[in-house]
Amino acid sequence: MGKILVWGEPMFGFYPIDSPRIEKCSTLSMTWGGDASNFAIGVARMGYHSVFFTGLGKEPFGDGFIDLWQENGVDVSQVIRDPIRRTGFYFVSFIDGKHSLTYYRDNSAATAIQFAQLDQQILKDSVVFHFTGTGLGMGVDARALCQQIVEAKKKDDCIISFDVNFRKMQWNNPILAEREISRAISLGVTHLEITDDEMVSLGWGSDLEALIRRFATLQVIAYKRGPKGVTIRTREREFDSPAFPVTVKDTVGAGDSFNVGFILSLLEGKSLEEAARIGNATAGLTCTGLGPISSAPSRKELDTFLAVQV
C-alpha cells in the first residue's frame, strides 16, 4: 500500500519510581520516547511499512533505538548516525495527576539531518507523511527541512498529517510557536491533530470551523479531548467520538497512538466515524501501560479489543 514516512526526534525518557516528582526520587526507570518514534512504532505494529527519517547519536542510547525500531519492524534505512551530536532525552514528573516533561535536546543529532540525506525513492513512494510540532520546535533548520518534504509531497495523492504537540518549555515563545505552527499547516497539511489544551495555548480558542477554514489544504481536524474522546471536524460537518473506558496507568503517547489508528484507518478507506473509533481504541490501549510504547497495540490486539466493545 506504500510507505508511511515519519520525520521527527526520538528521545529516551526517565520516569520516577519511588516518588511522583523527579527531583524527589532515588530510583528511575528508562523508556524510549519521542512522539515521532511512538508513531513510527505504532504504524509498524499495525503491519505497515513505517520509515523513520531522523538522527541519532553514536552512543549506546542511539544503538538502543536502532534495536527497538528493528524489533518492532520500523525501517531504519533513513536513520542518520551523528558522530558528534547526542540523542535527546527527557525526565518525567507527575504533578496533580498530569505528566510534566523536562527536556535535554538542544543540538541533538536529529536537529542536524538534511533533506539531501533522505532517499528520494522512499519520499516518492510514501502515501503518508507524518510530522509534529516537537519536530518544528527543534529550530530553523528543522523547519526548513520539514518545508522541503511537504513541498515535495503536497502535489501527490498523499496524506500529510501534522500533530501540533505544542510543548511550551521547548519553544519558550508562544508567539513564535503559533506563527511557525500556522506556517507549517499552511504549507500543505491535510490532516491536523490537536488537543483542547493546545488550541487554548496557541490562542485559537475552540472554534474548529474557523480553524479549518483558515487553512486551505486542511481536510480534517481531529480535536483530541483526553477522557472525553475526540471531535472530528471537516469542512462540511462536525461530530464527537467517545473514548473507551480503560484502566489508565499513563497517558504519555496516547495522542500519538490515536494518530496511528486514525490515519491508518483513513488510508484503508474507513469512514471518519470508524477511523475516530479506532483511534480512540489505540489510544486507550496505550494508556493501560507505563510509557508510550509498552502497550501500543498490534493489529491483533486492536482487533481483539474492538471485538468485545459494544
User: So what's the pLDDT on residue 253?
Assistant: 85
DSSP string, 177-245: HHHHHHHHHHTT-SEEEEEHHHHHHTT-TT-HHHHHHHSTT--EEEEE-GGG-EEEE-SS-EEEEPPP-
**CB burial string 59-74: b at 16+ within 10 A, e below:** eebbebbeebbeebbb
Q: Full-prediction pTM beyond 0.85?
A: yes
Residue 160 pLDDT: 98
In this prediction, residue 50 carries a pLDDT of: 98
Strands annotated E in the chain: 3-7, 11-16, 28-33, 49-57, 79-82, 88-95, 98-104, 126-132, 159-163, 191-195, 220-224, 230-233, 238-241
pLDDT, average across residues 279-304: 89
Please say if the pLDDT value at position 220 is more than 70. Answer: yes
- 224-272 pLDDT, tens digit per residue, is 999 999 999 999 999 999 999 888 887 878 999 999 999 999 999 999 9
Percent of the chain having pLDDT more than 70? 100
Joined grid coordinates for residue 123: 519520499
Q: Does residue 95 register a pLDDT over 90?
A: no
Q: Is the pLDDT of residue 291 over 90?
A: no
What is the reported pLDDT for 310? 66
d(CA 89, CA 33): 8
Q: Which of 235, 232, 244 is nearest to 310 (CA)?
A: 244
Integer Cα distance of 87 and 41 in angstroms: 18
DSSP structure class, residue 297: P
Q: pLDDT-based confidence at 33, cuts 50/70/90?
A: confident
Q: What is the mean pLDDT of residues 259-287?
A: 96
What does the pLDDT look like over 49-81, one tens digit per residue?
999 999 999 999 999 999 999 999 999 999 999
pLDDT tens string 162-199: 999 998 888 889 899 999 999 999 999 999 999 999 99
Please give the mean pLDDT across all residues of the chain: 93
98-138 confidence digits (pLDDT tens): 778 888 888 999 999 999 999 999 999 999 999 999 999 99
All structural domains of the chain? 3-307 (3.40.1190.20)
Q: Mind listing the pLDDT tens digit for each residue in 293-302?
A: 888 898 999 9
Contact criterion met (CB below 8 Å) for 31 and 291 = yes
pLDDT at 97 over 80: no
- The answer to whether residues 54 and 145 touch, using CB atoms and an 8 Å cutoff, is no
Q: What is the CA radius of gyration of the chain?
A: 18
Q: Of 159 and 291, which is predicted with more confidence?
A: 159
